[in-house]
Amino acid sequence: MVNLPWRGDDSGGDGDDAVDETYPEALVVCEFQDGTLVVYPDRVEIHRVDRSRFDDRTVPAGEITGVDLSMGITIGYLQIEQAGVQVDSGGLLSDPVNPNTVHFSRGGRDCAKEAREEILAHAQG
């Protein structure tokens, strides 16, 4: 079953920033609609859900040049800006979609803010 953000069903865990046993060294863990974002001091990992068109990804802190965060009206996104990876700006009515972008509903906003702060604090690019 697809977890639709307007249903109010929180069973998908969108925005759960609790660092669990799966990622014991992580600074922040956010479960978003299209994957889990895991922030470490030296890297950021994106573990994609099965339906994603992108593969899992690891972005070294030394290659991170910025983080674009948009809260959106219903769906927000967090895009990691990485040296050598083209930034996707999306369109008039669409959010950006690239290997370094994750999307979240309103429930994920706080975790996305926390992740952005930690990523920028450790970015070296």
- To the question of domain 13-122 being in CATH 1.20.120, the answer is no
Q: What is the pLDDT of residues 88-123, one digit of tens each?
A: 665 544 556 789 999 999 999 999 999 999 999 998
Residue 97: predicted pLDDT: 79
Domain spans in the chain, listed from the N-terminal domain onward: 13-122
Give the total residue count for the chain. Answer: 125
Judged against a pLDDT cut of 60, whether residue 19 lies above it is answered with no
d(CA 81, CA 86): 8
Question: How do residues 34-84 score in pLDDT, each as one tens digit?
Answer: 999 999 999 999 999 999 999 999 999 999 999 999 998 889 999 999 988
Instruction: Note the pLDDT of residue 72.
Output: 86
